Amino acid sequence: MLDYKVVVDSWKISAEVDVLVIGGGTAGSVAAISAAREKKKTLVVEEFGFLGGTQTAGLVTPMMPNQIDKVPLNRGIDWEINSRMMEVGESGQWPDGNMGWFNPEMLKVVLEQLVTDTGADILYYTMFEDSIMDGNTIRGVSILNKGGRAAIIAKRVIDATGDADVAARAGVPFFSGDEATGTNQPFSVRFSAGGIDMPRFISFLNSLGRSEVTQHPKGSNTPLIHTAMVWGRDFPLEPVFRQAVKDGVLLETDGNYFQAFTVAGRSGEVFFNCPRITLQVDGTNPFHLTRAQILGRRAILRYLAFCRKYLPGCENASITSIAPMVGVRESRRIQGEYLLTAEDILGARKFPDAIARSNYPIDIHSSDEKGGMQLHHLPTGAYYEIPYRCIVPKVVDNLLVAGRCISATFEAQASVRIQTNCRAMGEAAGLASSISLDRSAPSRGVSGAELRSALRQRNASL
């Protein structure tokens, strides 16, 4: 960490703001919108040249479901983004009510418009370097970009890096991996393929009997398709995969996890939630991330060959995109004022300072080469809540942490990490930062009950 007094005396100060958001991804872009709408001078710093994080750079589409009886458990800015995407025909609604069937390329545009329309500023192509500390209070960060090294001074900072980078450098204690072994969940390197004859592909999937095909989902003319395969789970694609392994087209591990979707606005394309990368899966280790990209691209070529040879309608398929960002399910998790547990989730626990609601199951992917996954569902019709205290880190003042790196156990994080929850946490972090400024109080001093009431006034479902 860097000393605030030294930085102020001798560094180049590139900006001074009320609220600084580090990371313009799923949580960060929403945090910036939320803070700027409260008339706070807001800047979001992003390493790519666009917003969206795993949604756009990681190609993590569609959003995972989070609704009961087709009613979303989170609304607010999440609902606004989904509705805007539906309006422009770049997202659709699943039969279960999920509105997050989105085109990643258009989401870049919509998020950027929403952020800039609030008056917030964006700084692209910029890496976070270190936290600037005044005792236990964060005062800003140092950054690196083509302009060199500089400092940004801020009254409040929101860590939306996904990996708790700002918090870790500021001295916030954290966890990583499962409590027994320290092993993280596997990575993914997602991709999309085009040139697919959809009528033939749909006919083939329908013949299997268990794939999901919706010809006219609400909001888009693109047919909704979902198909998947995991060894030993009685998926109808398993014999096809087994033949491909026998023929040498796929490796045995390629069948550990396979999932494919269409998305709105991308006619003739299919997006793949695979390949899955196991073993060296520390999302804060650049060597692990590099290995994942290399192994991922090799596996993608095998999947492409498999599609062309074994899936009718895909004979002329070609790669249309490979995610420039490795999909990291879990890395650092901060130690916050409250630690969310699996018991809280499966027990559908409610909190007076709740900032988000979810009924997504505990979804743990095995990190060994045999693959597999565990799903632990809540009772039908039940949901749990995420308290504000989970985004308030121990030790450091005027810092909030939003996204998949909040204070939660390994099992609990496997449920809270989905996009709709991260957006809700980002909205809460932006609003809480504004309230703390208005009250001249540290971020941890914000009343969770007051924050919940304020979120309700802004259309949050709480």
> Could you report the per-residue pLDDT of 23-37, keeping only the tens digit for each?
999 999 999 999 999
Residue 462 lies in a domain: no
Q: Considering 296, 328, 360, which residue would you say is the last residue of a domain?
A: 328
Sign for the pseudo-dihedral over CA of 74, 75, 81, 87: positive
Q: Considering 291, 309, 328, which residue would you say is the last residue of a domain?
A: 328
Paired residues of 358 in beta bridges: 384
The reported pLDDT for the residue numbered 96 is 83
Q: Structure pTM?
A: 0.96
Percent of the chain with pLDDT over 90: 90
Which distant-in-sequence residues (6+ apart) come within 8 Å of 57 by Cβ?
25, 48, 50, 323, 324, 325
Which distant-in-sequence residues (6+ apart) come within 8 Å of 313 by Cβ?
196, 197, 198, 199, 200, 201, 202, 203, 204
Residues 168 and 251 in one domain: no
Average pLDDT over residues 397-424: 98
For the chain, the straight-line distance linking the first and the last C-alpha, in angstroms and rounded, comes to 37
- Tell me which of 158-172, 372-386, 443-457 is least confident: 372-386
Q: Identify whether 223 is preceded by a cis peptide bond (ω within 30 of 0).
A: no
Residues 348 and 320 in one domain: no
Residues 151 and 191 in one domain: no
CA distances from 396 to 32, 89, 139, 168, 348 (A): 21, 43, 11, 10, 30
Which distant-in-sequence residues (6+ apart) come within 8 Å of 6 by Cβ?
none
Separation between Cα atoms, residue 299 and residue 252, nearest integer Å: 11
User: What domain count does the chain have?
Assistant: 2
Residues 152 and 7 in one domain: yes
Burial of 316 (0-12, 13-18, 19+ CB in 10 A): exposed
- Digit-coded pLDDT (tens) for 315-331: 999 999 999 999 999 99
Residue 222 lies in a domain: yes
Residues 274 and 338 in one domain: no
CB 224 within 8 A of CB 213: yes
Residues 67 and 177 in one domain: yes
The tokens for 31 are 């945090």
Q: Considering 328, 354, 385, which residue would you say is the last residue of a domain?
A: 328
> What's the maximum distance between 2 C-alpha atoms anywhere in the chain?
70
Separation between Cα atoms, residue 418 and residue 233, nearest integer Å: 23
Check residues 161 and 371 and name the one with the higher pLDDT.
161
Domain region containing 265: 187-328
Residues 71 and 101 in one domain: yes
Say whether pLDDT at 367 is over 80.
no
Residues 195 and 163 in one domain: no
**Do the strands 71-72 and 187-188 form a parallel or antiparallel pair, or are they unpaired?**
unpaired
Residue 388 lies in a domain: yes
Average pLDDT over residues 431-449: 97
Residues 173 and 201 in one domain: no
141: confidence class by pLDDT, cuts 50, 70, 90: very high
Separation between Cα atoms, residue 414 and residue 268, nearest integer Å: 32
Residues 405 and 262 in one domain: no
Residues 229 and 368 in one domain: no
Residues 308 and 418 in one domain: no
